[in-house]
A and B are shown apart, each in its own frame.
Chain A
Amino acid sequence: MTMIQALRSAMDVMLARDDNVVIYGQDVGYFGGVFRCTDGLQAKYGKSRVFDAPISEGGIVGTAVGMAAYGLRPVVEIQFADYFYPASDQIVSEAARLRYRSAGDFTASMTIRMPCGGGIYGGQTHSQSPEAMFTHVCGLRTVMPSNPYDAKGLLISAIENDDPVIFLEPKRLYNGPFDGHHDKPVVPWSQHKLGEVPEGYYTVPLDSASVFRPGQDLTVITYGTMVFVSEAAALETGIDAEIIDLRSIWPLDLDTIVNSVKKTGRCVVVHEATRTSGFGAELVALVQEHCFYHLEAPIERVTGWDTPYPHAQEWAYFPGPDRVGAAFKRAMEAA
Chain B
Amino acid sequence: MSQSKPLSLHVPEPTGRPGCKTDFSYLRVSAAGAVPRPQVDVSPSETGEIASALIRVLDEHGNALGPWAPDASDELLRFGLRTMMKTRIFDARMVIAQRKKKISFYMTSLGEEALGTAQALALQDGDMCFPTYRQQSLLMAREVPLKEMICQLLSNECDPLKGRQLPVMYSVRRAGFFTISGNLATQFVQAVGWGMASAIKGDTKIASGWIGDGATAESDFATALTFAHVYQAPVILNVVNNQWAISTFQALAGGESVTFAARGVGAGIASLRVDGNDFLAVYAASRWAAERARSNLGPTLIEWVTYRAGPHSTSDDPSKYRPADDWTNFPLGDPVARLRRHLTSRGLWSDEEHDATHKALEAEVAAAQKEAESHGTLGHGTGPSAASMFEDVYKEMPEHLRVQRQQLGV
Please indicate the chain A residues that have their CB under 8 angstroms from the CB of B189 in the complex. Answer: 58-59, 62-63, 65-66, 90
Given contacts A99-B393, A103-B160, contact A54 B181 (CB under 8 A): no
Could you give, for residues 78-106 of chain A, a 1 whenever the CB lies within 8 Å of some chain B CB and a 0 otherwise?
00000000100110011001111111111
Establish whether residues B223 and A56, one from each chain, have CB atoms under 8 Å apart when the complex forms: yes
Please indicate the chain B residues that have their CB under 8 angstroms from the CB of A163 in the complex. Answer: 394-395
Is B400 close to A, CB under 8 A? yes
Establish whether residues A251 and B399, one from each chain, have CB atoms under 8 Å apart when the complex forms: yes
Establish whether residues B186 and A89, one from each chain, have CB atoms under 8 Å apart when the complex forms: yes
Q: For the complex, give the distance between the alpha carbons of A256 and B158 in Å.
A: 41
Please indicate the chain A residues that have their CB under 8 angstroms from the CB of B173 in the complex. Answer: 102, 105-106
Q: Which of A67-75, A148-156, A228-236, A311-319 contacts B (4 or more CB under 8 A)?
A: A67-75
Q: For the complex, give the distance between the alpha carbons of A54 and B130 in Å.
A: 22
Establish whether residues A93 and B186, one from each chain, have CB atoms under 8 Å apart when the complex forms: yes
A-B contact pairs, 21 of them (CB 8 A): A22-B200, A58-B189, A62-B220, A63-B189, A65-B190, A66-B191, A66-B197, A69-B190, A70-B193, A70-B194, A72-B201, A89-B183, A90-B189, A93-B181, A103-B392, A105-B171, A105-B172, A106-B171, A106-B178, A163-B394, A251-B400
The A-B contact count (CB < 8 A) is: 138
Establish whether residues A103 and B399, one from each chain, have CB atoms under 8 Å apart when the complex forms: no
Could you give, for residues 292-311 of chain B, a 1 whenever the CB lies within 8 Å of some chain A CB and a 0 otherwise?
00000000000000000000
Q: For the complex, give the distance between the alpha carbons of A105 and B182 in Å.
A: 17
Is B164 close to A, CB under 8 A? yes
Q: For the complex, give the distance between the alpha carbons of A112 and B177 in Å.
A: 26
Establish whether residues B219 and A100, one from each chain, have CB atoms under 8 Å apart when the complex forms: no
Is B98 close to A, CB under 8 A? no
Is B198 close to A, CB under 8 A? yes
Establish whether residues B395 and A58, one from each chain, have CB atoms under 8 Å apart when the complex forms: no
Establish whether residues B223 and A94, one from each chain, have CB atoms under 8 Å apart when the complex forms: no
* Minimum CB distance partner of B388 in chain A: A103
Is A107 close to B, CB under 8 A? yes
Could you give, for residues 160-189 of chain B, a 1 whenever the CB lies within 8 Å of some chain A CB and a 0 otherwise?
111011000101110000110111001001
Establish whether residues B197 and A103, one from each chain, have CB atoms under 8 Å apart when the complex forms: no
The 7 residue pairs across chains A and B that have the minimum distance between CB atoms = A66-B193, A63-B193, A62-B189, A66-B190, A70-B197, A102-B179, A66-B194
Chain B residues close to A by CB (< 8 Å): 128, 130, 160-162, 164-165, 169, 171-173, 178-179, 181-183, 186, 189-201, 207, 219-220, 223-224, 226-227, 230, 392-395, 398-400
Please indicate the chain A residues that have their CB under 8 angstroms from the CB of B394 in the complex. Answer: 99, 139, 141, 163, 251
Establish whether residues B171 and A56, one from each chain, have CB atoms under 8 Å apart when the complex forms: no
Given contacts A103-B164, A106-B178, A254-B399, contact A66 B172 (CB under 8 A): no
Is A207 close to B, CB under 8 A? yes
Q: For the complex, give the distance between the alpha carbons of A75 and B189 in Å.
A: 17
Q: For the complex, give the distance between the alpha carbons of A64 and B189 in Å.
A: 9
Q: For the complex, give the distance between the alpha carbons of A260 and B193 in Å.
A: 45
Is A48 close to B, CB under 8 A? yes
Please indicate the chain A residues that have their CB under 8 angstroms from the CB of B198 in the complex. Answer: 70
Given contacts A58-B223, A72-B200, A101-B179, contact A94 B186 (CB under 8 A): yes
Q: For the complex, give the distance between the alpha carbons of A301 and B194 in Å.
A: 44
Establish whether residues A101 and B194, one from each chain, have CB atoms under 8 Å apart when the complex forms: no
* Minimum CB distance partner of B191 in chain A: A66
Known: A65-B190, A103-B160. 19 other contacts (CB 8 A): A58-B189, A58-B219, A59-B226, A62-B220, A63-B227, A66-B189, A66-B195, A86-B219, A89-B183, A89-B186, A94-B186, A100-B164, A101-B169, A103-B164, A103-B171, A103-B392, A106-B178, A163-B394, A251-B399
Contacting residues of chain A (150-202) with chain B, CB-CB under 8 angstroms? 161-163
Is A133 close to B, CB under 8 A? no
Establish whether residues A71 and B197, one from each chain, have CB atoms under 8 Å apart when the complex forms: yes
Is A34 close to B, CB under 8 A? no
Please indicate the chain A residues that have their CB under 8 angstroms from the CB of B223 in the complex. Answer: 56, 58-59, 62
Is A138 close to B, CB under 8 A? yes
For residue A283, give the distance in angstroms from its CB to the closest CB of chain B: 13
Given contacts A22-B200, A54-B230, A90-B189, contact A104 B219 (CB under 8 A): no
Please indicate the chain A residues that have their CB under 8 angstroms from the CB of B226 in the complex. Answer: 54, 56, 59
Q: For the complex, give the distance between the alpha carbons of A97 and B219 in Å.
A: 20
Q: For the complex, give the distance between the alpha carbons of A59 and B226 in Å.
A: 9
Contact of A66 among B169, B182, B192 (CB under 8 A): B192
For residue B5, give the distance in angstroms from its CB to the closest CB of chain A: 38
Establish whether residues A64 and B399, one from each chain, have CB atoms under 8 Å apart when the complex forms: no
Establish whether residues A48 and B393, one from each chain, have CB atoms under 8 Å apart when the complex forms: no
Q: For the complex, give the distance between the alpha carbons of A161 and B398 in Å.
A: 13
Establish whether residues A54 and B227, one from each chain, have CB atoms under 8 Å apart when the complex forms: yes
Please indicate the chain A residues that have their CB under 8 angstroms from the CB of B192 in the complex. Answer: 62-63, 66
* Minimum CB distance partner of B171 in chain A: A102
Establish whether residues B190 and A105, one from each chain, have CB atoms under 8 Å apart when the complex forms: no
For residue A8, give the distance in angstroms from its CB to the closest CB of chain B: 21
Please indicate the chain B residues that have their CB under 8 angstroms from the CB of A54 in the complex. Answer: 226-227, 230
Please indicate the chain B residues that have their CB under 8 angstroms from the CB of A161 in the complex. Answer: 395
Establish whether residues A67 and B197, one from each chain, have CB atoms under 8 Å apart when the complex forms: yes
* Minimum CB distance partner of A140 in chain B: B394
Q: For the complex, give the distance between the alpha carbons of A54 and B225 in Å.
A: 12
